[in-house]
Structure 1
Amino acid sequence: MPRRTATMLASTLVLIALLCAGVFIPVPYSEMSPGPTVNTLGDSGGEPVLRVSGRETYPTSGHLNMTTVRVTGADYRMNLVEAVAGWLSDDSVVVPHDTLYPDGKTEEQSTQENAEEFSQSQESARVAALGQLGIPVASRVVVSSVQKSSPAEGRLHAGDVIKAVDGTPVKVPQDVAKIVTKRRPGQTVEFTIVPAKEAAAAEKARRDPTVTEDITLTTKAAGDENRAIVGIQAGTDHTFPFTIDIRLDDVGGPSAGLMFALGIVDKLTPGPLTGGRFVAGTGTIDDTGKVGPIGGIDMKLVGARNAGAKYFLTPAENCAAAVTDIPDGLTLIKVNTIADAVKSLEKVRDGNTAALPSCSAG
């Protein structure tokens, strides 16, 4: 065999071997890519994303699209070839696996956490939207969860309304820990509660609860700390003056909160908030209307552009990352609160786009 032919054959075999190795060698990376966008003013799966009953609503137009990121699963292991392809792609990002799934988080754990965050984002979106419109929302401190093998197990239950601890009324979840930690481990503490079933029945009947119970618990130390705990997580529940249903399948995490809230505001106010424009965005939201940062901003910008968006509502804390690679034809709008977002949408509607707050690298 001529030397040149042998050399080419050897090189080809080495290349094939390297490609085969690349396919079978797992690497500790995961891939992020643009996910679907959904218009919160429209339908998904044949059902309205937002449905309001018990309150007058108004026609809407245009788009207020929430954006998502598609990620490889916790149990999926990329190979070297896939990782290189992802690095070379303009529409995907390859990141260390532990960035998306820290501490060995499983697929099931990640799905459960995303579902819980999505549910909480819906609740906060309702509260923030009604707050923006000046519509009062009643709130109460509740037991969110009970730890196994804790003093509270079997005595307190998720959904119990906490009226007082040691006779001191509680107004926010933080009050519970403050009062409990005044005790030393081994001392008792008394919870005055409305049982979850009674609270649910009273809310359904739109009446005040009539049953309360006093539950005495013996505190224990928090691990190696000399700090008293009873083993519950306190949270906030709300009673809304009318019904706001948010329905969207196969989506998780907290980042749709802002767009849900704006969709609710649009439906409850006369005149289309966007003036018929195509606006997309992202951002967590809390009960006060503060907008928080999210992950995967670059992929969400690409997804919004691909869907046809012209404007993108961007959490202020994501602006520096977002401006490094803005897709053509997309205008970024910086938002800190839901009030900021509403004012900016009014400017978009009125054509006063020069006055929009813009993102900057600083």
Structure 2
Amino acid sequence: MPRRTATMLASTLMLIALLCAGVFIPVPYAEMSPGPTVNTLGEHDGEPVLQISGHDTYRSDGHLNMTTVRVTSANYRMNLVEAVFGWLAHDNRVVPHDTLYPDGKTEEQSNQENAEEFSQSQESAKVAALGELGIPVQSWVIVSAVVKGAPAQGKLHAGDVIKAVDGTPVKKPADVAELVTKHQPGQDVEFTIVPAKEQEAAEKEHRSADTTRNVTITTTTSDDSGEKRAIVGISAGTDHTFPFTIDIKLADVGGPSAGLMFALGIYDKLTPGSLTGGKFVAGTGTIDDGGKVGPIGGVEMKTIGARDKGARYFLTPAANCAAAAKDVPDGLTLVRVKTIADAIGALKDIRSGAVADLPKCTTKG
């Protein structure tokens, strides 16, 4: 066999071997791609996304689309060839597997966490929107979860309202941990609570829950890394009573990043006129009870998904602006926002046509 032919054959066989290896060798990466985008002012699966009763609502037009990201499952093992194609593709992003599923987190655990964050984001969106409208909302600190086998198990329950710790009133969830950790492990701590069932009954009857009881719990030592501290094995959160009913109907979505767009949709439904002026606006961002907009993951994928759907403007958390501005889809304007008030102001400029006044994202932020 001529040397040239033998060399070409050897090279071909080596290439085939490398391709086969690339197909069968798993790599520790996962993939993100643009996910569905849903208009919070419209319907999803034949049902209005926002359903409000007990208060006047107004017709809305245009789009206020929340955006999502698709990710490969926790059990999916990407091979080398798929990783290379993902790196070369413009609309996908290959990231380390641990970025999406840290500390060996299973897909079930990740889905549960995302569902909890999604539920909390809906509550915060309602509070932020009503706060911007000057509509008061009652809030209190609750037991959001009890750790199995912890000292609090059987004594405190999810949904219990925490009024005080050791006689000191609590106003926010962080107060609970601060007051508990003033103790040494093994010492007793006293919680003043309204039992969850009493609170639920009071809400249904539109009255204040006045029945409280004191619960004494012996603290134990934290088992995490770092300085040891006293704990009772609960996580504290915030619950609210709204003056009328606001339901957000959107299944198969998780995480906190739709908070801003839900808040804007609620605000638009409760105010006369159109917040968008009929324009197609999309966006993303977490939101807290005070209306502050926080950063999210996968912003590059979300801008692509929004523009593919028809968006012309994208409300972008200030902390994500630099990353998003590095590769902006054609025809999409990235608008920098820090609060719901910023977003409402930007929408005013968009509907009036004063787009030169918009605070736009740059690669510097």
Give the whole-Å Cα distance in 2 for the aligned partners of 1:68 and 1:129: 21
**TM-score (normalised: structure 1):** 0.97
Distance 2:222 2:7 in 1: 69
Deviates more, 1:276-285 or 1:188-197: 188-197
**Aligned to 2:301, which of 299, 306, 311?**
299
Partners of 2:238 and 2:36 lie apart in 1 by 31
Query: Does the 8 A contact of 1:293 with 1:316 survive in 2?
Result: yes
Residues in 1 aligned to 2:99 and 2:238: alpha-carbon distance in whole angstroms: 30
Whether 1:136 and 2:165 are equivalent positions in the alignment is: no
SS for the counterpart of 1:32 is strand
Aligned length: 362
Q: CA offsets, 1:188-221, max 9 Å, x none?
A: 2221111111111111111112422211112223
2:117: which partner in 1? 117
Distance 1:23 1:226 in 2: 47
| Identical positions, percent | 75
Residues 184 and 226, structure 1, Cα contact 8 Å, conserved in 2:
no
Say which SS state the counterpart of residue 152 (structure 1) adopts. coil
Distance 1:299 1:176 in 2: 38
Residue 232 of structure 1 deviates from its aligned partner by 1.3
SS of equivalent to 2:33: strand
Structure 1 residues 231-264: Cα deviation after superposition (integer angstroms, max 9, x where no partner): 2111110000011101111111110000000000
Cα distance change on mapping 1:226 and 1:105 into 2, 3 Å: closer
Give SS of 1:324's match: coil
SS at 2:144's partner residue?
strand
Superposed CA deviations along residues 291-334 of structure 1, whole A, max 9, x for unmatched, are 00011111111111101000000000011111111111000100
C-alpha separation between the residues in 1 aligned to 2:181 and 2:74?
38
Unpaired segments of 5 or more residues in structure 2?
none
- What is the Cα-based RMSD across aligned positions, in Å? 1.4
Q: The residue matched to 1:260 in structure 2 has which SS?
A: helix
2:45 aligns to what? 45
Cα distance, 1:5 vs structure 2: 4.1
- 1:336 is aligned to 338
Runs (5+) with no aligned partner, structure 1: none
What SS does the aligned partner of 2:207 have? Answer: coil
Could you tell me how far apart the structure 2 residues matched to 1:29 and 1:6 are? 37
Q: Deviations over 1:22-71 (max 9, x none)?
A: 11111111111111111011111111111111111000000000111111
Q: d(CA) in 2 for partners of 1:160 and 1:48?
A: 32
Match of 2:92 in 1: 92
Match for residue 236 of structure 1 among 235, 238, 241: 238
Partner of 1:198: 198
Partner of 1:351: 353
Measure, in 2, the Cα distance between the counterparts of 1:87 and 1:217. Answer: 53
Native 8 Å contact 1:55 1:242 kept in 2: yes
**Counterparts of 1:76 and 1:226, CA distance in 2:** 37
Residue of structure 2 aligned with 1:286, choices 278, 285, 288: 288
Q: Matched residues in 1 for 2:263 and 2:25: separation?
A: 45
C-alpha displacement of 1:4? 4.3
Q: Secondary structure at the match of 1:250?
A: coil
Alignment of 1:148-227 (within 5 A): 148-223=148-223, 225=227, 227=229
1:321 to 320, 323, 335: 323
Report the equivalent of 1:70.
Answer: 70
State the SS of the aligned residue for 1:288: coil
Compute the displacement of 1:8 (Å): 3.4
SS, match of residue 68 in structure 1 = strand
* Aligned counterpart, 2:104: 104
TM-aligned CA deviation for residue 273 of structure 1: 0.2
